[in-house]
Amino acid sequence: MTTTQNFNTWLTCPQPNPEAKLRLFCFHYAGGGALIFRNWSYYFSSSIELCAVELPGRGKRLREPAYTKMKPLIQALSLALDSYLDKPFVFFGHSMGGLVSFELARQLRREYGFTPQHLFVSGCRAPQIPDPDPPIHQLSNSEFIEQLRRYNGTPEAILQNKELMDLLMPCLRADFAVLETYNYQYEPPLNCGITAFNGSADQQVNQADMLAWEDQTGADFYLKTIAGDHFFIHSHQSLLLQFISEEITSILMALIR
């Protein structure tokens, strides 16, 4: 694989660092974008280069059609990240990002024999557990917006802004389509450790959903509960990043030995 520091449209690197020992790839939730990770680099040492993934249909890629199926999305991501897997790496994904990062890890294992040093998943039920909620991506606009309120991740001012919602709706519907048409296929567990984070007041994903991630690893598994609802990634960001930083530091120490 080749090395490049010209980050493509799929990746945003707030603080590019060719000398980093490890890359942390971050995958956003449904309707989100790379911008949610804009200040994360400050929490990590200079040995870590943070790469935030930006899926089509949002942010700087707003004019690109968003993916509506998991398989082609994962295939495209595998190609996009190819040049950035020249050093050890870890994945973090929240909600939809957790599922995307998991499927990408399996794809990279199949294609290249590569596996992340560690997989961090938060607010995302284990892939083998079916979604108990009925699909919403094909609901009328008013019904779809009402369902979005349940997640408590979109400010009410935005939900009530018709022009803004008209702009965001295609991306949101596409992301939910990716999740709601996903079909889990069994493969052997990953050989990297998995740390799962769940919000103590998360109404969408419960602790049992997160504990089931243990079945997806043949290595160490950890479950950490953080106060907050489904979007504790924002309300308790510092604590979440403290946990991630501690684990990555342990990984770096093991790599140096």
Residue 199 Cα distances to 7, 13, 125, 163, angstroms: 32, 27, 12, 32
Q: Is residue 170 part of a domain?
A: no
Closest CA to 51 of 99, 87, 91, 95: 91
Q: Is residue 87 part of a domain?
A: yes
Q: Is residue 3 part of a domain?
A: no
Largest CA distance in the chain: 56
What pLDDT is recorded for position 153? 67
Rounded to whole angstroms, the Cα distance separating 115 from 105 reads 6
Q: Residue 191 belongs to a domain with what CATH number?
A: 3.40.50.1820
Closest CA to 247 of 39, 51, 22: 22
Q: How many domains does the chain have?
A: 1
Q: Is residue 154 part of a domain?
A: no
Q: Is residue 139 part of a domain?
A: no
Catalytic residue among 41, 95, 101, 122: 95
Residue whose structure tokens are 């919403």: 136
Question: Would you call 95 a catalytic residue per the annotation?
Answer: yes
Taking a C-beta distance cutoff of 8 angstroms, is the pair 54, 12 a contact?
A: yes
Beta strands in 63-132 (DSSP E): 89-94, 118-122
Residue 26 three-state SS: strand
Rounded to whole angstroms, the Cα distance separating 163 from 208 reads 39
What pLDDT is recorded for position 5? 38
Please state whether the predicted TM-score (pTM) of the whole model is above 0.95.
Answer: no
Q: Output the tens digit of pLDDT for each of the chain's 257 residues.
A: 333 334 489 999 999 988 999 999 999 999 999 999 999 999 999 999 999 999 999 999 999 999 999 999 999 999 999 999 999 999 999 999 999 999 999 999 999 999 999 999 999 999 999 988 888 898 888 898 888 888 776 778 888 888 888 888 999 999 999 999 999 999 999 999 999 999 999 989 999 999 999 999 999 999 999 999 999 999 999 999 999 999 999 999 888 76
What pLDDT is recorded for position 3? 34
Q: Is residue 135 part of a domain?
A: no
Q: Is residue 177 part of a domain?
A: no
User: Residue 33's domain spans which residues?
Assistant: 11-130+184-256
Q: Is residue 146 part of a domain?
A: no
